[in-house]
Amino acid sequence: MEQDAQLVQQCLQGDGSAWEELVRHHSRRVFNICYRFTGNRTEAEDLAQDVFLRIYKTLGSYRSAHGGFATWMTSVTRNLLIDHYRRTKRDRITDSLDDAMPVVENKQSSARRPDEQALLGELSSQVQFALTKLSPELREAVVLRDLQQLEYSEIQTVLAVPEGTVKSRINRGRIELARILQQMGVRPS
């Protein structure tokens, strides 16, 4: 955390290598949040680039006293993702859940296939698909908690909502995700 704050100071003094180090250190995290939120690699890559452009422009507004650089960066990422969601809401085709949902035909039999890696990949895409079917409020809470492993207090800072709301969103998000996965045929063995 202190190292990040130091790098930010160096960046503000015009040190390009410090900025490069910050980008290299955090780009994976930002890209993963964007990908889990959108479910699209290309879109996630463009969004991650936009996030860093925004961070670069607003780096001066970062105060280490208000939390770690990673939390601040996650907050910027989240705001940009929500902006993006709202901007593209009209363009998106609201596809029916039943139409586009990849259904697991026979989970029991497919679990016995020797190629477990392929099955895992298939399951990952099922879960990712289900994730993108959640509302953005629930999705961001679940992504931050269960994928980014953030603490409740950090999520509270990122989402700028009370801790009770954070818990409630995570709870509702998980229950909704389980319901969608069940509809898709992904059931506990």
Partner 1 sequence: MNWTCEQTELRLTDYLDALLEPEQRREFDLHVNGCERCSPLVASVTHAVANLRMLPELETPPRLVYNILDATLGPRETVSGWSAIRAWIRGIASPRFAYGSLSVAATFLMLVTASGFNWKKPKIADLSPVNIYRGTNRQVHQAYARSSKYVSDLRVVYEIQSKLRESNELPSGNEGTAPDSNQQKDPGRTDGTNPATPRQQNRANEVNSHIQVLAEEFPVLGEKLCFVLSGKLSGALSGSSRLQ
Tokens of 102: 């990849």
Residue in 9, 67, 68, 174 binding partner 1, rule: CB under 8 A? 174
# residues near partner 1 by CB under 8 A: 41
**23 binds partner 1, rule: CB under 8 A:** yes
Among 1, 53, 97, 118, binds partner 1 (CB under 8 A): 53
CA distance 116 to 138: 30
The residue count of the chain comes to 189
Residue from the set 5, 82, 104, 147 that interacts with partner 1 by CB under 8 A: 147
Of the ranges 67-75, 90-98, 104-112, 123-131, which one interacts with partner 1 (CB under 8 A)? 123-131
Measured CA to CA, the distance from residue 189 to residue 182 in angstroms comes to 12
Pick between residue 15 and residue 89 the one whose CB is nearest to partner 1.
Answer: 15
Q: Check binding of 28 to partner 1 (CB under 8 A).
A: yes
Residue among 101, 104, 127, 161 that touches partner 1 (CB under 8 A): 127
Nearest to 145 by CA among 161, 125, 169: 169
Instruction: Copy the structure tokens of residue 46.
Output: 């463009």
Min separation Cβ 122 and partner 1, Å: 12
Which residue type occupies 75? Answer: S
Using alpha carbons only, what angle is made at residue 50 by residues 45 and 56, rounded to the nearest 5 degrees?
Answer: 130
Angle value at C-alpha 45, between 39 and 129, nearest 5 degrees: 5
Three-state DSSP state, 15:
coil
- Residues lying near partner 1 in the complex (CB under 8 A) are found at 16, 19-20, 23-24, 27-28, 31-32, 35-36, 41, 45, 48-49, 52-53, 56, 120, 123-124, 127-128, 130-131, 142, 146-147, 167, 170-171, 174-175, 177-179, 181-182, 186-188
